[in-house]
Amino acid sequence: MSLAALIRAFVRRHAAAYASAAVMLLGIALLTVWLPRQIGHLVDALVARQISQADLWRELGLLLAAGVGIYLLRVGWRVRLYAAAYQMGVELRRQLYQRLAHQGPRFYQTRRTGDLMALATNDVDAVEMAAGEAMLAGFDGTLTLVLVVTTMAIGVDWRLAAIALVPFPFMAWSFAWISSHVHGRSKEALDRFGDLNDHVQETLSGVRTLRALGLEARSAKVFAELAEKAADAAFWSQRWEARYEPAVGMTLATSVVLSLALGGWLVWHGELTIGQLTSFQLYLVQLIWPMFAAGWVLALWQRGRAAWGRLSAVLDEPLAIDDDGSIERVEPGELVLRDVRFAYPGAPRPALDGLSLHIAPGSTLGLVGPTGSGKSTLLKLLLRQWMPQAGHISWGDIKLPDYTLEALRAGIAWVPQEPILFSASVADNIAMARPGATREQVQAVAELAAVHDDIQRLPQGYETPVGERGVTLSGGQRQRVAIARALLADAPLLLLDDALSAVDTETEHRILAHLREQRKGRTVIVVSHRLSAVADADVVAVLRHGHLAERGTHAQLLDKGVEHSWYAQQWRIQQLKASLEQD
């Protein structure tokens, strides 16, 4: 969809606001055209001494009333117009947010967070200005130009009007030339601002790492370079936009010189009165606004086109995962993976290849294996963040794509390797899984996650702000708060993706013991590099190179011996390390 089509659709939806603003602008244009003509008549009457003092005061009162009317109408159309135009900004930001919220990991692998944030600010503002200021300025300028030129030709003298318009083709050519450069420069300015925004976002997110590595000076240097590029791009954009004004000035100056020369000659020969020449010059002055409006509208339009080009590329990006399912409620049952194959885009080999696995309802599956064996990938397929290229996954005898994404993800509580906490209180972070939860329910799941005592020691307890991404908490505390949040969701499937890596062994055992006690038919999949976390699982599955290498209980896998079992070998190594650390 082009910018013009977008604005047409928006104007149709808000026709009342735009129509009322247009009517007010028509009133302004008519009053603006009436004023010079009335002043010309008044000048002729004063020169001829054919007006009384009472009539003079009445005429002056009418002129003052017209000025007040123009002022009120200008305020009115701006109120009506901008109320509608700002609504476009709201709609675009809502569409952008919804699109970003539904995009999968593949999209974010190629997009930068800072640039996406810039789209929601600068780019939306540019489109909003094109839909508001540019639309009405264009209408106002065109209407004023037509009325003024018509009045100059019919109401004053067509010869003066004709000679005054001689420089206008030059202005039109200048505007076309300038406009072609404004578009490119505006897009470059928006791109450079996105680069700068992205660097700032990354720097603030990783500020502690930068300080730890002593990279503040390097980061500041990069910021300075990006800021200079952004400023330079914005400067060149504004520099090209500024060229509209000299084109208008030269055109108007030439028109004034030509009309004064011809007008003086006509007055000298008695074919034109001084009042008519005065009216004409006032009309000519009124052409300043339409000429400036043309430049202003073109600048806003080209800026809006550049911004919409960037926005539409994101809004039109197809979703990585289709949401074509119709089943809106998950029926817990057996999880079945049958001959599942999945490879990440550009990867040399599949992350999972021919994987078949059955997970009984209400059981706990321990998922282990070397780094890169496909453990986290399997969880992402269950969450439908990615889709397998072969095979299928079903839950309760229903294939995952048959569920709506909302229903599927509502049925799964997931704690990723790097849990995300939001800039809110500890209680609010936990209650995000169930906004209506009571404080007693929040505390209950915090106790299950073995984090209640830690929260009590915080300065404000459960009301302590955790800062952006949970920066004020330790890694273990963040993980346990995230586990508490997942437990509060009470979903039939709980996925723990190495979610206990930052806690000590004793705390790990406490959390897992609480999970076994409070499971209540919930299926749990525990991914861990620490085998002690899966020792009590109903079934342990070992993945290697995307294949199911071993499957059985903890005892069954140990009975295979270290020569035949990767699990038994790793268990022995980890137990030796643990005993050495205790010594």
How far CA 263 is from CA of 18, 37, 249, 518, 575, in Å, comes to 40, 16, 20, 96, 104
Predicted local distance difference test score (pLDDT) of residue 342 = 92
Q: Distance (Å, rounded) from C-alpha 17 to C-alpha 280? A: 34
H or E segment at 233?
A: helix 216-242
Q: Distance (Å, rounded) from C-alpha 437 to C-alpha 444? A: 11
Predicted local distance difference test score (pLDDT) of residue 37 = 66
Report the side by side order of strands in the sheet with 335-342: 352-359, 335-342, 390-395, 398-399
* Look-up of token digits 């959390």: 511
- The DSSP symbol for 378 reads H
Q: Which of 223-237, 312-326, 368-382, 519-533 has the highest mean pLDDT?
A: 368-382
Distance of CA 170 to the CA centre of its chain: 41
Distance of CA 554 to the CA centre of its chain: 48
Tokens for 458, please give them.
């915080």
Predicted local distance difference test score (pLDDT) of residue 341 = 93
Does position 41 have pLDDT exceeding 70, yes or no? no
Length of the chain: 583
Single out the residue of 305, 220, 269, 393 nearest to residue 4, CA to CA: 305
The model's pLDDT over 490-499, given as tens digits with 9 standing for 90+, comes to: 888 889 888 8
Does position 583 have pLDDT exceeding 60, yes or no? no
Provide the percentage of residues in the chain whose pLDDT is more than 90: 3
Q: Distance (Å, rounded) from C-alpha 181 to C-alpha 166? A: 25
Which residues neighbour 18 within 8 Å (Cβ) at sequence distance 6 or greater? 11, 81, 84, 135, 136
CA angle 388, 394, 395 (to 5 degrees): 135
Give residue 294's identity as a one-letter amino acid code. Answer: A
Domains and CATH numbers, the chain: 3-315 (1.20.1560.10), 335-553 (3.40.50.300)
How far CA 508 is from CA of 50, 450, 476, 573, in Å, comes to 103, 9, 10, 19
Residues 304 and 129 sit within 8 Å (Cβ to Cβ) = yes
Stated pTM of the model? 0.68
Band (pLDDT 50/70/90 cuts) for residue 220 is confident
Does position 275 have pLDDT exceeding 90, yes or no? no
CA angle 486, 490, 491 (to 5 degrees): 85
Residues 128 and 88 sit within 8 Å (Cβ to Cβ) = yes
Predicted local distance difference test score (pLDDT) of residue 543 = 92
Q: Distance (Å, rounded) from C-alpha 429 to C-alpha 419? A: 11
Residue range 505-512: mean pLDDT, rounded: 81
Q: Distance (Å, rounded) from C-alpha 299 to C-alpha 290? A: 14
Residues 452 and 430 sit within 8 Å (Cβ to Cβ) = no
Q: Which tops the pLDDT comparison, 446 or 29?
A: 446
Band (pLDDT 50/70/90 cuts) for residue 519 is low
HEC profile for 86-105? Answer: HHHHHHHHHHHHHHHHHCCH
Single out the residue of 154, 155, 168 nearest to residue 41, CA to CA: 155
Predicted local distance difference test score (pLDDT) of residue 155 = 66
Q: Distance (Å, rounded) from C-alpha 123 to C-alpha 113? A: 15
Provide the percentage of residues in the chain whose pLDDT is more than 70: 90
Q: Which tops the pLDDT comparison, 19 or 487?
A: 487
The model's pLDDT over 464-498, given as tens digits with 9 standing for 90+, comes to: 888 766 677 888 888 888 888 888 888 888 898 88
Single out the residue of 380, 417, 416, 430 nearest to residue 400, CA to CA: 380
Q: Distance (Å, rounded) from C-alpha 19 to C-alpha 26? A: 10
The model's pLDDT over 551-561, given as tens digits with 9 standing for 90+, comes to: 998 899 888 88
Predicted local distance difference test score (pLDDT) of residue 581 = 64
Q: Which of 64-78, 159-173, 354-368, 421-435 has the highest mean pLDDT?
A: 354-368
Does position 22 have pLDDT exceeding 60, yes or no? yes
The model's pLDDT over 49-84, given as tens digits with 9 standing for 90+, comes to: 777 777 778 777 777 887 787 788 777 777 777 777
Does position 457 have pLDDT exceeding 80, yes or no? yes
The model's pLDDT over 107-124, given as tens digits with 9 standing for 90+, comes to: 777 777 777 888 888 888
Residue range 138-165: mean pLDDT, rounded: 72
Single out the residue of 305, 327, 323, 85 nearest to residue 182, CA to CA: 305
Quick check: helix, strand or coil at residue 112?
coil
Q: What is the DSSP string of 117-133?
A: HHIIIIIHHHHHHIIII
Quick check: helix, strand or coil at residue 406?
helix
Q: What is the DSSP string of 54-84?
A: HHHHHHHHHHHHHHHHHHHHHHHHHHHHHHH
The model's pLDDT over 337-352, given as tens digits with 9 standing for 90+, comes to: 999 999 988 788 899 9
Does position 40 have pLDDT exceeding 70, yes or no? no
* Look-up of token digits 């202005």: 171
Predicted local distance difference test score (pLDDT) of residue 156 = 67
The model's pLDDT over 88-113, given as tens digits with 9 standing for 90+, comes to: 888 888 888 888 888 877 777 777 77
Average pLDDT, the chain: 80
Single out the residue of 137, 150, 149, 133 nearest to residue 25, CA to CA: 137
